């Protein structure tokens, strides 16, 4: 994996080769990655993995014809052949009226933000193994836990560099660490599984392994003796473990490419009320140590905190340059890409702001409700917004969590869910896409 300066120079040199060969415009991406992971089960080492790799990709344009190629060989002759191949491919490609680099006037020209996403550490396998074992042992120590799915710990680092013929050249590096434990409680048909995990940019920011394991054990034991609730319509609360999935559906619906294809259930809702008054949804790429922080986007544009939804109103799509041209808007600084392929669009640190009422107040808002802690399946129609997914969780009565429930489905339409949901005050930044407990006043609950 190259240093930041070397990665930036490698990307710039490839762009220079392309323009010297006759390309009208070009950009290049370097991606270098390193990862280590250790997994254990019942106190025994199961697997140790270590991988390292790097790749460089070139996208060039001949008028409105383009081609993208990538290589894991950074030798001089390999890069010369890469440019030659890309030029030949572009010459045969069909014209695309929306193709091209980002507008020159939007390219980042100033200093690149330092977001403290790399702590420079590279823990050895022994340290990772110790953490994985500690997490599993803590989970197995919870009364009622009968078996283990395993404990794991990992460490990674990546370097991303981008250069364009419009004059941008930048690079960033991020580290990442995670720890998890999965355990089993009960026997036979009553057996239940659950887990806990945590990820962080800095090793020292990880939750203690013992805390992760204990949480996994407590979660699985709480699920024992699950029943099925009476089918019907009832209030549903989404625990933060699953509440962020609703933001994932929102991100897909406001993607510029989905809107341009007319395949979004929010197709005509820009500038209108989509959520209840008071609901705010933010994209913040510049959060220090954020799991999805980035100092520039995949096209070299500057990035900034944006309120995608403010007081319930949908303010913006998220679009890379190609989709933005189709929609007649400016790109929004959300382009993402790897070494191969054209840019797409995705939010960064995406979250729903906390609401005024506490989680306890939401739990007590109705005499009876369902608290969902696990979602199963992918039953969401991105065109219509129809929503139907398998679920598990707990009944809530009088504001208190009651018996566990499983093998159920919850159904509604995302348009109605967004319009009526209420966020709790318990927001925590843990996943990159985050939401507090969410209350939806009415959904259909049935048997799976």
pLDDT range class, residue 281, cuts 50, 70, 90: very high
The pLDDT of residue 398 is 95
196 with 232, same domain: the answer is: no
The pLDDT of residue 129 is 98
pLDDT tens for 127-151 read 999 999 999 999 999 999 999 999 9
Q: Quick check: helix, strand or coil at residue 328?
A: coil
- 27 domain residue, yes or no: yes
State which residues form the domain around 412: 226-245+354-447
- 145 domain residue, yes or no: yes
- 410 domain residue, yes or no: yes
Task: Give the C-alpha distances (Å, rounded to integers) separating 339 from 31, 298, 345, 388.
Answer: 6, 10, 15, 36
Spatial CA neighbour of 310 closest among 334, 357, 284, 278: 278
pLDDT tens for 149-192 read 999 999 999 999 999 999 999 999 999 999 999 999 998 888 99
CA 161/CA 156 separation, integer angstroms: 17
DSSP secondary-structure letter at 410? E
239 with 214, same domain: the answer is: no
- Number of helical H runs and strand E runs in the chain: 9, 19
27 with 13, same domain: the answer is: yes
37-59 average pLDDT score: 97
* H or E element that contains 51: strand 44-62
pLDDT tens for 254-263 read 999 999 999 9
- 114 domain residue, yes or no: yes
Q: Say how many Å lie between the first and final Cα of the chain, rounded.
A: 48
Across 189-193, 338-342, 412-416, the highest mean pLDDT is recorded for 412-416
pLDDT range class, residue 406, cuts 50, 70, 90: very high
pLDDT range class, residue 70, cuts 50, 70, 90: very high
Q: How far is CA 324 from the centre of its chain?
A: 22
142 with 75, same domain: the answer is: yes
Contact in structure between 31 and 339 (CB atoms under 8 Å): yes
Q: How far is CA 193 from the centre of its chain?
A: 24
CATH at 209: 3.30.2290.10
- 273 domain residue, yes or no: no
The pLDDT of residue 234 is 97
Could you say which of 186, 220, 254 is where a domain stops? 220
The pLDDT of residue 189 is 81
Task: Supply the mean pLDDT for the chain.
Answer: 97
- 282 domain residue, yes or no: no
The pLDDT of residue 448 is 74
138 with 200, same domain: the answer is: yes
109 with 32, same domain: the answer is: yes
- 384 domain residue, yes or no: yes
Structural domains counted in the chain: 2
36 with 50, same domain: the answer is: yes
Could you say which of 203, 220, 237 is where a domain stops? 220
152 with 207, same domain: the answer is: yes
Instruction: Decide if pLDDT at 66 tops 80.
Output: yes
232 with 104, same domain: the answer is: no
40 with 106, same domain: the answer is: yes
27 with 173, same domain: the answer is: yes
The pLDDT of residue 378 is 86
CA 133/CA 13 separation, integer angstroms: 46
The two structure tokens encoding residue 123? 């823990």
233 with 165, same domain: the answer is: no
CA 238/CA 440 separation, integer angstroms: 8
How many of the other CB atoms lie within 10 Å of CB of 43?
11
201-206 average pLDDT score: 97
């Amino acid at each position: 994996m190259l240093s930041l300066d070397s990665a930036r120079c490698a990307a710039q040199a490839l762009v220079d080769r392309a323009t010297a060969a006759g390309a009208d415009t070009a950009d290049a991406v370097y991606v270098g990655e390193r990862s280590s992971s250790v997994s254990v089960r019942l106190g025994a080492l199961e697997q140790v993995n270590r991988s390292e790799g790097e790749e460089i990709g070139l996208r060039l344009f001949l008028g409105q014809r383009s081609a993208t190629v990538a290589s894991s060989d950074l030798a001089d002759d390999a890069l010369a052949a890469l440019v030659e191949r890309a030029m030949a491919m572009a010459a045969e490609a069909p014209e695309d009226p929306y193709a091209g680099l980002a507008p020159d006037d939007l390219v980042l020209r100033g200093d690149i933000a330092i977001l403290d996403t790399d702590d420079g550490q590279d823990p050895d396998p022994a340290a990772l193994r110790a953490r994985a074992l500690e997490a599993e042992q803590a989970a197995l120590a919870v009364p009622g836990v009968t078996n283990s799915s395993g404990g794991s710990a990992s460490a990674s680092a990546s370097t991303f560099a981008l250069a364009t013929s419009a004059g941008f050249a930048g690079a960033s590096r991020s580290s990442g660490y995670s720890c998890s434990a999965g355990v089993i409680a009960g026997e036979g048909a009553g057996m239940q599984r659950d887990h806990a995990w945590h990820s962080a940019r800095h090793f020292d920011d990880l939750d203690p392994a013992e805390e992760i394991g204990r949480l996994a054990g407590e979660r699985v034991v709480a699920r024992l003796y699950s029943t099925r609730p009476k089918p019907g319509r009832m209030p549903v609360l989404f625990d933060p473990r699953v509440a962020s999935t609703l933001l994932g559906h929102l991100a897909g619906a406001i993607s510029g490419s989905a809107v341009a294809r007319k395949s979004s259930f929010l197709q005509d809702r820009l500038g209108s009320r989509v959520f209840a008054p008071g609901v705010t949804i933010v994209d913040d790429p510049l959060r220090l140590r954020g799991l999805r922080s980035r100092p520039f986007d995949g096209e070299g544009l500057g990035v900034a905190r944006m309120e995608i939804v403010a007081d319930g109103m949908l303010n913006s799509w998220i679009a890379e340059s190609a989709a933005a041209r189709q929609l007649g808007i400016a790109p929004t600084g959300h382009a993402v890409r790897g070494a191969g392929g054209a840019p797409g669009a995705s939010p960064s640190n995406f979250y729903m702001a906390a609401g005024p009422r506490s989680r306890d107040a939401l739990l007590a808002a109705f005499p009876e409700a369902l608290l969902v802690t696990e979602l199963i399946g992918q039953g969401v129609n991105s065109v219509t917004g129809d929503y139907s997914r398998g679920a598990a969780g707990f009944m809530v009565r009088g504001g208190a969590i009651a018996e566990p429930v499983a093998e159920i489905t919850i159904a509604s339409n995302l348009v109605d869910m967004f319009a009526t949901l209420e966020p709790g005050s318990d927001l925590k930044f843990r996943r990159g896409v985050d939401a507090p407990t969410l209350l939806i006043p009415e959904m259909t609950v049935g048997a799976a």
